[in-house]
Amino acid sequence: MFINFAARLPVRIALSALAGICLSWGLVACSKNAAPEADKSAGPSAAPASATNVPTTAAPAANPAGASAAPATGATPTPVVSVVTTKVTKRDLPVVLRAVGSAVSLASVDIRPQVTSAITQVHFKEGQFVKQGDVLFTLDTRTDETNLAKAKAQLAKDQAALADAKRQLARSRELVAQNFVSGAAVDTAQTLVDSTAATVAADAAAVQAAQVALSYGKIVSPHAGRAGVINTPMGSVVQANVTVLATIVKVNPMAVSFNLPQRDLADFLAAVNGETKVKVTATLPEEKKPLFGKLQFVDNAVDSASGTVKLKAVFDNKDNKLWPGLFVNVGLTTKNIEDALVIPQAAIIQSVRGPIVYAVEDGKAVIKPIKVVQPAGPEVAVTGVQENDVIVVDGKQNLRPGVKVVERPKEAGKDGGKPEAAGSPGGTTAAPANAPGAAPAATPAPAAAK
């Protein structure tokens, strides 16, 4: 075995040497083919990279179209602000004093019984409209009916006694005329007639009192109105002048009570004492059409606690729009300013020198000082402007004198009046860094080698 291995050893060594030589030749051939390609790819750029006299910053290239560039020195873009404007109108302006009032009934009556008895019948329903004289409750009147019958019987008895006394007086007078009796008999008969007549009169009064007491058994409505809650149902025993059976509230016409501040008292009294009548209107919160009424009452003193004067006006309420306790907006028209220059309250700016407005002239904002003559709700009469002047209502917080303005489109009327600085006429628009076609951001040049 050892002999066989020794015999094969030279052959194996020879094969290993041959394989090593072949591998070396292959590697040399691959390295010769790769060298020319590397020389070709590195040839154009190798020389500039090794140059040491190349400047560190290159000359700026021309910007392509649409690329952003720094604005020239002193070329500040002119801002343009979008606003909402209106024109100054010239018309008659009514001066209206405003107040908040509440509807009150002209008559609200608590129905109470006048006798102590039991309720035998209720003739209406809760919340029903009743007329004056309608029967509301019926009480137990059997006792009163008995008392009335007793009084009538007593009256009949005394009337019979009076008739007998009158007959006795007549006989006495005949006997005295024939000298059968003395004159004293006539006097006695006359006294009996007079006393019996007085008794009959008292009996008649007792009958009337019994009839009145019997009438209390039927409780009727004192006026037309709306019935409230029935507090005592049928069968309840009620106490005279104590128990509240129901409440009847008059709803047509209806009054409105309100308070007027003392600062408006002078204008109000001047209007009341003047030739023109004060117009009173009441407007419900959920409606726009006002109701027209008539001033009825003005208090004779100013309330020292609130500094107001109490007033009351009466309104026709056939449609039952006014209801007791309902809050309404009251307006008192005291005078009318003729040919007033009217602008919205929202256009006025309170400055340190007084109220001003921004007017638009030749497309630019101009300050105009004004003087308030008379406020009237959302509008105000002023001086210092002319008819048909264009003034700014919304967006005035962004204005300065001389700033260009543009009327805001209708579809952009709710954007709060933001200024249109970017993209507005006369301004420059910078392309975003990532926009298509924009120039890439400039890379700072490397520092020169020291």
Q: Is the peptide bond before 401 cis (omega within 30 degrees of 0)?
A: no
What is the Cα–Cα distance from 217 to 142, expressed in whole angstroms? 9
CATH of the domain at 259: 2.40.30.170
Determine the pLDDT at residue 429.
37
Determine the pLDDT at residue 263.
87
Same domain flag for 184 and 314: no
Look up residue 435 and give its two tokens.
């926009």
CATH of the domain at 350: 2.40.420.20
Instruction: Choose among 234, 7, 251: nearest CA to 107.
Output: 251
Burial grade of 368 (CB within 10 A; 0-12, 13-18, 19 or more): middle
- Strand order, beta sheet including 218-220: 218-220, 135-139, 117-122, 237-238
Same domain flag for 127 and 216: yes
pTM of the model as a whole: 0.56
User: Which residues of the chain carry a pLDDT beneath 50?
Assistant: 1-3, 5-6, 34-72, 412-450
Same domain flag for 115 and 102: no
pLDDT in tens, 72-90: 455 556 678 889 999 999 9
Residues 6+ apart with CB under 8 A from 438: 66, 67, 68, 431, 432
**Triad 337, 281, 105: Cα angle to 5°:** 150
Q: Which domain holds residue 1?
A: 1-34
Look up residue 417 and give its two tokens.
């009046």
Determine what percent of the chain falls in helix, strand and coil, rounding each to the nearest 5.
30, 30, 40
Same domain flag for 114 and 235: yes
In a domain, 418, yes or no: no
In a domain, 434, yes or no: no
Same domain flag for 232 and 142: yes
Residues 6+ apart with CB under 8 A from 200: 155, 158, 159, 162
What is the Cα–Cα distance from 280 to 333, expressed in whole angstroms? 7
- Structural domain count of the chain: 4
In a domain, 259, yes or no: yes
In a domain, 177, yes or no: yes
What is the Cα–Cα distance from 182 to 421, expressed in whole angstroms? 134
Residues 6+ apart with CB under 8 A from 91: 339, 340, 342
In a domain, 204, yes or no: yes
pLDDT in tens, 116-149: 999 999 999 999 999 999 999 999 999 999 999 9
Same domain flag for 30 and 100: no
CA distances from 323 to 163, 345, 357 (A): 63, 33, 44
Same domain flag for 185 and 258: no
Same domain flag for 159 and 236: yes
Report phi then psi at 15, rounded to 5.
-65, -40
In a domain, 448, yes or no: no
Determine the pLDDT at residue 221.
94
Determine the pLDDT at residue 70.
44
8 A C-beta contact, residue 139 and residue 219: yes
Domain boundary among 218, 248, 278: 248
Determine the pLDDT at residue 344.
92
In a domain, 428, yes or no: no
Residues 6+ apart with CB under 8 A from 218: 135, 137, 138, 139
Same domain flag for 26 and 147: no
Burial grade of 131 (CB within 10 A; 0-12, 13-18, 19 or more): exposed
Same domain flag for 379 and 322: no
8 A C-beta contact, residue 144 and residue 246: no
Domain boundary among 302, 336, 370: 336
Determine the pLDDT at residue 431.
37
Report phi then psi at 281, rounded to 5.
-125, 150
Instruction: Choose among 176, 224, 170, 212: nearest CA to 193.
Output: 170
Same domain flag for 352 and 285: no
Look up residue 216 and give its two tokens.
């209390």
In a domain, 385, yes or no: yes
Same domain flag for 113 and 237: yes
